[in-house]
Structure 1
Amino acid sequence: MRKITIKISAIFALILLMVFLQSQNIYSQQQKLAQTGMKFLNVSLDARATAFGDAITSLETNSSAMFYNPAGMARFEGIADVSLGQTKWIADITYYNASVAFAPFEGDYGVFGFSFVSVDYGDFFGTIRADNEQGYLDVGTFSPTAIAFGFGYAKSLSEKFAVGGNVKYVRQSLGTSIVGNVVQNPLTAGFASGTTQDNELDVLAFDFGVIYKTGFKSLNIGMSVRNFSREVQYKEEGFQLPLIFQIGTSFNFSDLLELDKNEHSILVTADANHPRDFPEQILFGFEYTFMNMLSLRGGYSAPNDERDITAGVGLKQNIQGLNLGIDYSYTDFGIFNSVHRITINFAY
């Protein structure tokens, strides 16, 4: 059994490495910086993760791991876990996310998960070109939409090695275009000519991840690939999804200081990511937890144009067997003001 587990682990790690090398080959053939689509997939959603500066690839967490490294939910405590979150993004954009993880038969058959993301962009004024004095006509308002449904699975293959994967259905609608010569009908306020074109796309995307416990105290190493998919296109122009490769490590310094982790936990993380559409980054995170109830967090990533430090706080409480947690994070976004996230977690 042990040999089979080692072989499966090696095969999965090899697949992950091949995916990464393939992405490198794509980059070497043609650099497409800032030319990816469906960018909402790149926005970090979980309040605890963002307070860490997104340096959580090697952390064993809960159902929200499906948004970062699916392997992170392989060892979550309990039978079921639910996370609900809201992100107040820049430009009055709001993200809503939910994730659920279930470990039947005490996790003997792995952990199954479901995730959901929805984006509220608000209303926009629509215009079209026209042969009039202004050169355009107002066509009312439209509301772009974006959603992603994900199904994930994670399994602890040994005491040290965990793997996870996630397949998600992604859909984005940018409204309807009117193509051709357009003349406004003064009697009906409608348009006498022109054809309509729906700007909608959907695609399947995949995430993969591994977490390795080194055996040296609490030192973990993690690796993930997110948003791996085929190229998609609207009417003419094609684009890739925002593929990102991330690797990181974490360590609880309470081990070195010989502190009781149930009283004082000092967790430090560091990640490096390689995105398809912007330069590489180094991410750092820190979390101090007192009495396994109150957590204070901070994070930083570099290089950045506008995003500065991140900070957050978390509270946990067990109420008659139900673990209830609430996390908040703050991100300074320079000229775009600040971003606020809140996540509520239930685990049983």
Structure 2
Amino acid sequence: MKNRVRWIALFLMLSCARELEGFEKVATTSFQFLKVMTDARSTSMGEAYCSVARGAESVFWNPAALARFGGTDLSISYVDWLLDTRQASIGFAHDLGNWGALGFQAIMVDIGEIEVTRVDALGFIGDTYNPGLTGETIHPSAFVLGGSYARALTDKFTFGLTAKVVHENLELESKTALAFDGGLTFDTGYRSLKLAAVIRHFGREIKYVDKSYPMPQTFTLGISGNLLSPSQFLLFPSEDHRLLLSYDLSHPRDYDQQHHLGAEYSFREVIFLRAGYKFNYDEEGLTLGFGLKAGRLRFDYSYAQFGEYFHSVHRFSIGFQAR
């Protein structure tokens, strides 16, 4: 069992090394919509979520976290993204006991209507200049369907894999590909301190017209822990309050290293206040949000700052834990 853990860890580190070789290819990956995370809790914490993910949200962030969740969980999220693009997701997690855990994900992307322009339509119509508009419109879209499996390798390590079908319809050309995620979680045994690693969107290159583009593969390392909590606290005990702090270091295939810092305050696990910051991004930075939990139901909201040229982004999530 120990040898298996070592081999998996080695695979993750070697994959990270490959990414470090190729970061100069800025913004040259395919399926860019895969970079947009939909759920509200993670995005309100600056996407510092690799070691924090649990339940149904794990299928999007780190499939290994499924093995540390006991029960059945459903999460539905929606984001009104930039330039009339809308994205919705459904995540599902189910514990199989000694057999591990299963997960399912579906992502739907509506890119909105785009007016068709052609060079041969350029020119004047009477006294009015036509910038190439033909009067036609296209409606690009995309979707993801995936399944995950995770199980505990030891009492401290969990491992998970996701296989997903990714489809993008650009009207003039459509592409479908198979992609994979692989992750580890590690419970350090020191109070609530947890570590995690994950590779997301691993797959073959996609050819558009006469040029191939790689998948938006990302390697992430994460650490998190409760500074305040009723038990396993890192600093101070508190019966009614919990303060979680998390940090992720990410290396996307088409950009330099990016840093994510997040925090979540909880009052009696009913009211949640969250904040985060994303470092080394062109436009993104501050994130804020809150959550409410009533029995098995939960609601989460997040706000993301998006520079001076784009509107702020709002996300909404609802969840239900069956058991």
Q: TM-score, normalised by structure 1?
A: 0.85
| Equivalent residue, structure 1, for 2:75 | 83
Any residues of structure 2 matched to 1:105-120 within 5 Å, and which?
107-120=97-110
SS of equivalent to 1:67: helix
| Equivalent residue, structure 2, for 1:128 | 118
Higher strand share: 2
Change (3 A) 1:36 1:260: same
The answer to whether the Cα contact below 8 Å between 1:52 and 1:285 also exists between their aligned partners in 2 is yes
| Equivalent residue, structure 2, for 1:259 | 237
Amino acid of the residue matched to residue 36 of structure 2? V
| Equivalent residue, structure 2, for 1:211 | 185
SS of equivalent to 1:215: coil
| Equivalent residue, structure 2, for 1:338 | 312
Aligned residues: 311
Tell me, in whole angstroms, the C-alpha distance in 2 between the residues paired with 1:164 and 1:132: 53
Amino acid of the residue matched to residue 11 of structure 1? W
SS of equivalent to 1:253: strand
Q: CA deviation at 1:53?
A: 0.3
Q: CA deviation at 1:240?
A: 0.9
The answer to whether the Cα contact below 8 Å between 2:19 and 2:251 also exists between their aligned partners in 1 is no
The answer to whether the Cα contact below 8 Å between 1:53 and 1:299 also exists between their aligned partners in 2 is yes
Tell me, in whole angstroms, the C-alpha distance in 2 between the residues paired with 1:126 and 1:147: 23
The answer to whether the Cα contact below 8 Å between 1:60 and 1:74 also exists between their aligned partners in 2 is no
Tell me, in whole angstroms, the C-alpha distance in 2 between the residues paired with 1:14 and 1:167: 20
Confirm or deny that 1:275 pairs with 2:275. no
Change (3 A) 1:60 1:94: closer
Any residues of structure 2 matched to 1:40-55 within 5 Å, and which?
40-55=33-48
| Equivalent residue, structure 1, for 2:210 | 236
| Equivalent residue, structure 1, for 2:11 | 15
Amino acid of the residue matched to residue 82 of structure 1? L
| Equivalent residue, structure 2, for 1:183 | none
The answer to whether the Cα contact below 8 Å between 2:41 and 2:300 also exists between their aligned partners in 1 is yes
| Equivalent residue, structure 2, for 1:299 | 276
| Equivalent residue, structure 1, for 2:128 | none
Unaligned runs of 5+ in 1: 177-198
The answer to whether the Cα contact below 8 Å between 1:128 and 1:139 also exists between their aligned partners in 2 is no
| Equivalent residue, structure 2, for 1:69 | 62
Tell me, in whole angstroms, the C-alpha distance in 2 between the residues paired with 1:89 and 1:82: 22
SS of equivalent to 2:204: coil
Tell me, in whole angstroms, the C-alpha distance in 2 between the residues paired with 1:209 and 1:117: 20
Change (3 A) 1:297 1:137: closer
Change (3 A) 1:337 1:168: same
Confirm or deny that 1:327 pairs with 2:319. no
Percent identity of the aligned residues? Answer: 35
Tell me, in whole angstroms, the C-alpha distance in 2 between the residues paired with 1:77 and 1:346: 14
Structure 1 residues 117-141: Cα deviation after superposition (integer angstroms, max 9, x where no partner): 1111111111333277458461511
Confirm or deny that 1:163 pairs with 2:163. no
Q: CA deviation at 1:265?
A: 0.7
| Equivalent residue, structure 2, for 1:194 | none
SS of equivalent to 1:309: strand
SS of equivalent to 2:49: coil
Is the deviation greater in 14-23 or in 36-45? 14-23
Structure 1 residues 131-153: Cα deviation after superposition (integer angstroms, max 9, x where no partner): 77458461511100111111111
Which structure: larger Rg? 1
Q: CA deviation at 1:77?
A: 3.1
Unaligned runs of 5+ in 2: 125-130
